[in-house]
Amino acid sequence: DVKVTQSSRYLVKRTGEKVFLECVQDMDHENMFWYRQDPGLGLRLIYFSYDVKMKEKGDIPEGYSVSREKKERFSLILESASTNQTSMYLCASSGGRGGYNEQFFGPGTRLTVL
């Protein structure tokens, strides 16, 4: 059973704080993704990584960065949190290279920035 875990279920931060969201998968998947999920907007890709230390920008990377030092862990960093980054953040992973491989999602982190 694929397991994708996220470090926090709920997080409350203040404007300007540096925020780390952690994601860990236990299935040796090559690919990992960070999305934000907003009502009326669906899921939007922030960043994805297809290998350790490799990363690519998604559709909305502004204000975010990522780190992937180990294959199983993919971190999303908000350098200076702002209120418009209040959202649900979903991490996903998928195995294999090339084409479609099912993405498995974590439970999500609901971030509130005050």
Give Dmax over CA atoms of the chain in angstroms: 40
58/63 with CB nearer other proteins: 58
Does position 71 interact with other proteins (CB under 8 A)? The reply is no
- Between the CA atoms of 57, 62, 67 and 73, what dihedral angle is there, to the nearest 10 degrees? -80
Kindly state the smallest distance separating residue 43's Cβ from other proteins, in Å: 4
In the window 23-42, what residues touch other proteins (CB under 8 A)? 31, 33, 35, 40-42
28/40 with CB nearer other proteins: 40
Beta bridge partners of 25: 4
- List, in order, residues 6 or more apart from 99 with CB less than 8 Å away: none
Total number of residues that touch other proteins (CB under 8 A)? 30
54/114 with CB nearer other proteins: 54
Does position 7 interact with other proteins (CB under 8 A)? The reply is no
- List, in order, residues 6 or more apart from 39 with CB less than 8 Å away: none
The token duo for 73 is 């862990």
Contact set with other proteins (CB under 8 A) = 4, 31, 33, 35, 40-45, 48, 50, 56, 58, 90, 92, 94, 96-108
